[in-house]
Structure 1
Amino acid sequence: MQYLYKRHTYTKEKESLLMAQPYRTAYHFQPPKNWINDPNGPMIYKGIYHLFYQYNPESAEWGNISWGHSTSTDLVNWTIHPPALLPSDTYDISGCWSGSATILQDGTPAILYTGGDSQNVQLQNLAVPKDPSDPYLVEWVKSPHNPIMTPHEEEKESFRDPTTAWLGTDGIWRVLIGNERKNRGTAVLYKSEDFVHWTEAERPLHSSSETTMWECPDLFPVLIDGENGLDISEIFSGIKHVLKNSVARSFVDYYTVGVYDHHNDVYTPDEGSVDNESGLRLDYGRYYASKSFFDSEKKRRIFIAWVNESTSREIDLIKGWSGLQSFPRKIWLDKGGKQLIQWPVEEIETLRTNKVDLQNITLEAGSKREISGVTAAQADVEISFTIPSFDRAEVYDSNWRNP
């Protein structure tokens, strides 16, 4: 995903007001400084979680877009590494934009990402680890075959954000590219036998006339019955598929639940699964360009998204940073098979300390009670209560419902 922003100036007076940094988060991921946006290529490799992300190494505003890189053993505490990808070649000199990571058949990862050339033509590129034995994957090498996918002439600026690739039952790799074709949000399908040479399929996997440009698409299987996640290449009778799209015009992530016909490479949303921004969303707040991955260690699918700032670019420059990542969420299909259920990954509970436990407290009508012992700026509160009698409760009136 790309953004073109104008540079702003600021005054010394505004700078002094913002130096306290009151808006830094407590447990969401964000680097020490500078701009970030989309999460890219999250994965687990040799027991280490990797998070890449759109990053400006030089400023708190969009520009010089690279792939920032951090690792973790618990999805809570992160170690910052040097950027994994920097704009350096003709096919990505305008930026190393969004993409995904895929674990290949030999167990090593590969990155597919969008690069912009000097004319901002969007091109798909490949990078691999310089040393696959390094669990931290600090160094990456761009393929000499780049660019490995190029757009149609009329789609030069609407051809981006490759998904995690999956291996078909025929042994051929498949990947989706976000696109807008004939005013339709479109997931263009490409195929490859060797992960280097890619050919566009005869037709897209799916498109919708009710949306415009699809960014950061994501396709993955979910169990019909169960909370475990699945590897993206899993195909069997007990699953459905989810197609998530980030719509550029509205800054909304929505998804449909449906069926992926792997013989004909066609995705069809289930009846009633609304295929536009008014349908199901992963989040109804500031949550965009989400990316999922399969955690093979704990058998779960995890989502991460970009949470953009509500402050101006002017203020971002003053405070020295902009953007953060949502806390990782485990997701699975509800028992009705119509929507996703999500919950923060269990590791968040390691942040709980100094528990304050109150039991058997009676609250009288209109009373209040101060809880002593809680001094944190942020607290995790769980409350359960019972109502001894409903004798004085008002009887529900159906006219209360909105017309």
Structure 2
Amino acid sequence: MRFKGLYHLFYQYNPKGAVWGNIVWAHSVSKDLINWTPLDPAIFPSQPSDINGCWSGSATILPSGKPAILYTGIDPNNHQVQNLAYPKNASDPLLREWVKSPKNPLMEPTSTNMINASSFRDPTTAWRGKDGHYRVLVGSKRDTRGIARLFRSKDFVNWVEAKHPLHSSKRTGMWECPDFFPVLVKGTLGVDTSADGDYVRHVLKMSLDDKKHDYYLIGSYDGKKDRFIPDSGFENGEESVLRYDYGKYYASKTFYDEDRKRRILLGWANESSSVNDDIKKGWSGIHAIPRTVWLHKSGKQLVQWPVGEIEKLRANPISLPNKVLKAGQTLQITAVTAAQADVEISFEAKEFGKAEVLDSWVDPQLLCSRKGASVKGGLGPFGLLAFASKGLKEYTAVFFRVFRYQNNNLVLMCSDQSRSSLNKDNDLTTYGTFIDVDPSHENLSLRSLIDNSVVESFGGEGKAVITARVYPTLAINDKALLYAFNYGASDVKITKLNAWSMKKAQVN
């Protein structure tokens, strides 16, 4: 949240080790979303309703301007219950001390409300209806049905569950870290979480515990009935539901930045290293670069883009003029620190007759793993080789490949981690998605933020994002190299290539 000129990030943290456990709410503050200063934990086990852990939740700025936090506590029975905390001194811009409501828990599973006591967590930011009452969602499940339970309150303290959930879906499992927010039908600005009317659509996001990915639905919110009707839902198949990120990205939340009139998405990028390696290095889990999100003009999906503040870290810019990348060619991108860089590249493809034909629909991640960067194709693969070692024993490839499917061009975006490290204890999964761009009418753009163990890649001007967590053994620090490549049978043209070395942010 933003409060008195500072951004506040609260996050799940184990102060005693690099593995899960002893969970408290750590607290860091920033002026710019890039450089962060840690404070003491804001919320930690101290009362019966959270004595076994302070799990995830959300902040809400009340009409008075004072923030309030709803969070999941684990009680002495190991039941998941919802608690309230608020600042001890709201005039302190750092909000260093938080006190808990004496009425905690405010929401709990009982013998009458049929709530699964082990699947009832992660309250959202609250919004206000036209009746002035607050609404909040809590993630839940019944058998394998994922549920966004809806609670209402007049005073933010006394909460009553609505007769119906806001939305639920069969066979989706537990919905963790739900998020519900409006987006403008037209434009890239964000709006307050309580905004409602014909000028907005609504987004319901859920982190599927069974899949460990963040999915979202776009639809209409009926504020009178408190029901959400998605344009397309899980009943059409999980593959038809969009994701924020097709790589390592989970448990994300958005907030409205009133100062800059934007909606910002923050997510957790979990590890690809083994637990033993995490313990050795003494930490695990990072926050991805904050992203601004808005509704694409098609109305069919969200667009995500790194917050503009990240560009303050850019240094030593390089720019290459138009260049044809011939079939089988690699081009080293020199004069940037390849282990810590921001790269923007666009490709023009023309020879669509050489594109491979897909006879039937294939899961894009499976297709990327079958046709990785080393597999020569017709039109593609072309893209970037990040964290490349000399001789290309190691590299993380982010690339496009164009197919013909039902007489249309179909663009596949992949993040191939199969050769990202010689350490075979790492998760070397290859990720991918189809991306809604027509390469006969627009160039294929890729922006990758490369940072020592991370490659965050934004395809199609932010229509698809894939975050990779990699731990190279050879391509580290100044041994890392960066290439543009084209391993297809058809030439492609680089129409734009801008790259920057990135300075270090001040973190912790």
TM-score (norm 2): 0.67
The aligned residue for residue 85 of structure 1 is 43
Aligned mates of 2:215, 2:236 — CA distance in 1: 8
1:104-154 CA deviation, whole Å, 9 max, x = no partner? 010110000000012210010000001111111111111111111111345
The aligned residue for residue 136 of structure 1 is 94
Does structure 1 conserve the Cα–Cα contact (< 8 Å) formed by 2:12 and 2:24? yes
Aligned mates of 1:329, 1:68 — CA distance in 2: 21
Aligned mates of 1:297, 1:136 — CA distance in 2: 17
Aligned mates of 1:366, 1:177 — CA distance in 2: 51
Does structure 1 conserve the Cα–Cα contact (< 8 Å) formed by 2:217 and 2:233? no
| Matched residue SS, 1:84 | strand
Question: What's the offset of the Cα at 1:381?
Answer: 2.4
Which residue of 259, 266, 271 maps to 1:297? 259
The aligned residue for residue 266 of structure 1 is 227
Structure 1: unaligned runs, 5 residues or longer = 1-42
Letter of the 1:333 counterpart: L
Aligned mates of 1:264, 1:285 — CA distance in 2: 36
| Matched residue SS, 2:49 | coil
Which residue of 113, 119, 125 maps to 2:77? 119
Aligned mates of 2:110, 2:144 — CA distance in 1: 15
Change (3 A) 1:259 1:369: closer
Letter of the 1:330 counterpart: T
The aligned residue for residue 49 of structure 1 is 7
Matched, 1:100 2:58: yes
The aligned residue for residue 468 of structure 2 is none
| Matched residue SS, 2:277 | helix
Give 1:180-259 correspondences, 5 Å limit: 180-259=141-220
The aligned residue for residue 39 of structure 1 is none
Question: What's the offset of the Cα at 1:183?
Answer: 3.1
| Matched residue SS, 1:354 | strand
Aligned mates of 1:247, 1:272 — CA distance in 2: 14
Tell me whether 250-259 or 312-321 shows the greater mean CA deviation.
312-321
The aligned residue for residue 317 of structure 2 is 355
Change (3 A) 1:159 1:366: closer
| Matched residue SS, 1:235 | coil
Matched, 1:320 2:276: no
Question: What's the offset of the Cα at 1:380?
Answer: 1.8
Question: What's the offset of the Cα at 1:271?
Answer: 4.2
| Matched residue SS, 1:74 | coil
The aligned residue for residue 22 of structure 2 is 64
Does structure 1 conserve the Cα–Cα contact (< 8 Å) formed by 2:217 and 2:232? no
Aligned-pair Cα RMSD in Å = 2.1
Which residue of 16, 29, 32 maps to 1:74? 32
| Matched residue SS, 2:278 | helix
Question: Higher strand fraction: Structure 1 or Structure 2?
Answer: 2
Change (3 A) 1:354 1:268: same
Change (3 A) 1:236 1:374: same
Change (3 A) 1:367 1:185: closer
Aligned mates of 2:275, 2:329 — CA distance in 1: 45
Question: What's the offset of the Cα at 1:210?
Answer: 3.1
Aligned mates of 1:292, 1:357 — CA distance in 2: 34
Matched, 1:148 2:106: yes
Change (3 A) 1:101 1:367: closer
| Matched residue SS, 1:94 | coil
Aligned mates of 1:367, 1:253 — CA distance in 2: 36
Letter of the 2:165 counterpart: P
The aligned residue for residue 110 of structure 1 is 68
Question: What's the offset of the Cα at 1:374?
Answer: 2.4
1:24-67 CA deviation, whole Å, 9 max, x = no partner? xxxxxxxxxxxxxxxxxxx1111110110000111111111000
Matched, 1:337 2:299: yes
Does structure 2 conserve the Cα–Cα contact (< 8 Å) formed by 1:210 and 1:276? no
Question: What's the offset of the Cα at 1:276?
Answer: 6.2
Question: What's the offset of the Cα at 1:368?
Answer: 5.9
Tell me whether 164-173 or 365-374 shows the greater mean CA deviation.
365-374
Which residue of 108, 126, 136 maps to 1:165? 126
Does structure 1 conserve the Cα–Cα contact (< 8 Å) formed by 2:147 and 2:169? yes
Aligned mates of 2:279, 2:354 — CA distance in 1: 53
Question: What's the offset of the Cα at 1:236?
Answer: 1.5
Does structure 2 conserve the Cα–Cα contact (< 8 Å) formed by 1:211 and 1:276? no
1:300-327 CA deviation, whole Å, 9 max, x = no partner? 1111111111222222222110111111
Does structure 2 conserve the Cα–Cα contact (< 8 Å) formed by 1:176 and 1:217? yes
Change (3 A) 1:196 1:225: same
Tell me whether 181-190 or 86-95 shows the greater mean CA deviation.
181-190
TM-score (norm 1): 0.83
Letter of the 2:152 counterpart: K
Does structure 2 conserve the Cα–Cα contact (< 8 Å) formed by 1:269 and 1:275? no
Letter of the 1:146 counterpart: N
Aligned mates of 1:210, 1:228 — CA distance in 2: 35
Does structure 2 conserve the Cα–Cα contact (< 8 Å) formed by 1:217 and 1:244? yes
Change (3 A) 1:189 1:312: same
Aligned mates of 1:182, 1:84 — CA distance in 2: 34
Aligned mates of 2:269, 2:345 — CA distance in 1: 28
Tell me whether 276-285 or 85-94 shows the greater mean CA deviation.
276-285
Letter of the 2:156 counterpart: F
Structure 2: unaligned runs, 5 residues or longer = 361-508
Aligned mates of 1:274, 1:241 — CA distance in 2: 19
| Matched residue SS, 1:316 | helix
Aligned mates of 2:333, 2:123 — CA distance in 1: 49
Aligned mates of 1:398, 1:382 — CA distance in 2: 24
Change (3 A) 1:105 1:399: closer
Letter of the 2:26 counterpart: G
Aligned residues: 356
Aligned mates of 2:77, 2:233 — CA distance in 1: 42
Aligned mates of 1:134, 1:259 — CA distance in 2: 39
Aligned mates of 1:358, 1:271 — CA distance in 2: 42
Letter of the 2:92 counterpart: D
1:153-206 CA deviation, whole Å, 9 max, x = no partner? 451111110000001110101100101025310011111111011111111111
Does structure 2 conserve the Cα–Cα contact (< 8 Å) formed by 1:228 and 1:301? yes
Aligned mates of 1:385, 1:268 — CA distance in 2: 38
Question: What's the offset of the Cα at 1:253?
Answer: 1.1
